[in-house]
Amino acid sequence: MKSLLAILLGKTIAVVTRGLKFGGGSAAPGLYALKLDPQIVKKLASKIPINVVITGTNGKTTTARIIAHFAKNAGLKVIRNHTGSNLERGIASALIHNSSFINHKSCDLGIWELDEAAFNIVAPKINPDLVVFLNVFRDQLDRYGEVDSVVKGWVETLKRLPKKTIVLVNGDDANTLRLSKSFKGRIQKFGVKDYKIVGEGIEKKREKENLDFEAKNVKLKGLSGSRFQLTINNELLTINLPIPGIYHIYDALAAIACAKFIFTDPLTHRPTDLQILSDSLKSFQPAFGRVEKLDFGYIFLIKNPAGATQVFQTIAPQIKKEDRLLLALNDNLADGTDVSWIWDAGFEKLLTPSLRDHKVAKQSIYVSGTRAYDLTVRLKYAGFDPKNITIEPKLDQALKQARKGLKGTLYILPTYTAMLEVQSILTKSGIKKNYWEENG
């Protein structure tokens, strides 16, 4: 009875929030349902045949989306927290949405992205068949503390997971690599040849790491994506990834490694050709705000030093003199109230020749958000001329100004809640759908 009431309450809240356009019902239904039944996640997740959990600082949503893309192409029914609500309330909301008052709707696979701290609370309740650790960087210091604190929590949680769980770790990240000594079950490592994660970035490496899934012959193709190869089950796969950046190769590699276990190991009993699955990436669409392509430009989420620096490195070679940048920094709870991270992000990498030329760069940089002035100071110290920076804390007005007279591409670089605000602005103007209505 407690579970039925929790599901009823959650579904009612979801209808109300979406009907009144308060949001997509991605968090509130689960938040209040958990108050009625704190074990609702454990109860509903146990009815799903296979559960995959993904955690890490960067790349969770993209990795989960690629796995879901593979699963759907393989004919599997998927449930996941596709809106990116990655605390326990988000997992509960997705499970409630997929439940009726009589039983759980049939599905083959649950794909759950979990916040670094929420992982320690929620993963044991989900009892996953497979866990992916993507990376660990400094992120929201006011919530997580330093990297060592995050890894220590993961180590203790791994001890609580069953030995049947398959664990995939990023073998190029020394911090996630530490986890391989903490779990007594099956651990596999993935990584990219000639690269390693150092501090807040990805660098070239010389030493050889023993990896179970290794991307080789990497070729970056600007904003159109990348190409790489890897060998699985003695089969050489060629992967054409339609999203740019080395960091997205790690996401795709983790997803393909998952697919290997889901589709070729006896988890689903549905053997599938991995090359066919990989080829299906040509129709893959990134999640909202993650290299999202618009008619007038792109949206790249930036939320911590490592992720922001990787974005800057990816787009800098593409910036032309007619292009513009709109950066938005918020300090809301979901962003992290400590914005000192901007001083560790490589904004200097954005100072391309066209943006360094004061005459060319005039009115090409727009800064917005609740901490717009802090970000402007950071840009000044990165070498940008303050005279060429337009400050407009109201994001709707900043977006309007940045698009006015635009002849090139507009690169929108927002933090998390600013990204949601951009989505709302674009939705109200009819440019795109609500993010919760997009295919997950």
| pLDDT for 121 beyond 90 | yes
Choose the weakest-confidence range: 2-11, 262-271, 296-305, 411-420: 262-271
pLDDT at position 359, please? 58
Beta carbons of 426 and 414 less than 8 angstroms apart: no
| Mean pLDDT score, 58-73 | 94
pLDDT at position 84, please? 79
Q: How sure is the predictor about 54, in pLDDT bands with cuts at 50, 70 and 90?
A: very high
pTM of the predicted protein model: 0.89
| pLDDT for 413 beyond 70 | yes
User: Can you read off the two tokens belonging to residue 108?
Assistant: 């083959």
pLDDT exceeding 90 applies to what percent of the chain? 58
- pLDDT, tens digit (0-9, with 9 covering 90-100), for 20-34: 666 666 788 888 889
| Mean pLDDT score, 183-209 | 77
- pLDDT, tens digit (0-9, with 9 covering 90-100), for 369-404: 999 999 999 999 999 988 889 999 999 999 999 999
User: Can you read off the two tokens belonging to residue 381?
Assistant: 């110290």
pLDDT at position 21, please? 64
Cα within 13 Å of Cα(131), Cβ side: 33
Q: How sure is the predictor about 90, in pLDDT bands with cuts at 50, 70 and 90?
A: very high
| Mean pLDDT score, 212-220 | 94
| pLDDT for 101 beyond 70 | no
Q: How sure is the predictor about 98, in pLDDT bands with cuts at 50, 70 and 90?
A: confident
| pLDDT for 158 beyond 60 | yes
Q: How sure is the predictor about 436, in pLDDT bands with cuts at 50, 70 and 90?
A: low
pLDDT at position 143, please? 54
Q: How sure is the predictor about 332, in pLDDT bands with cuts at 50, 70 and 90?
A: very high
Q: How sure is the predictor about 355, in pLDDT bands with cuts at 50, 70 and 90?
A: confident
More reliable by pLDDT, 440 or 434: 434
Choose the weakest-confidence range: 3-7, 23-27, 257-261: 23-27
pLDDT at position 390, please? 95
Beta carbons of 375 and 350 less than 8 angstroms apart: no
Beta carbons of 278 and 256 less than 8 angstroms apart: yes
More reliable by pLDDT, 333 or 343: 343
| pLDDT for 284 beyond 70 | yes
For the chain, the farthest-separated pair of C-alpha atoms sits apart, in whole angstroms, at 69
In the chain, what are the domains?
A: 49-82+106-283 (3.40.1190.10), 290-437 (3.90.190.20)
User: Which residues, including other chains, have CB under 8 Å from residue 168's CB and lie 6 or more apart?
Assistant: 130, 131, 132, 133, 187, 188, 189, 190, 213, 254, 257, 258
User: Considering the chain, what is the average pLDDT of its residues?
Assistant: 87
Positive or negative torsion for Cα 85, 89, 95, 98: negative
pLDDT at position 58, please? 92
Q: How sure is the predictor about 169, in pLDDT bands with cuts at 50, 70 and 90?
A: very high
pLDDT at position 439, please? 56
| Mean pLDDT score, 210-218 | 92
The helix (run of H) or strand (run of E) holding residue 214 is strand 213-220
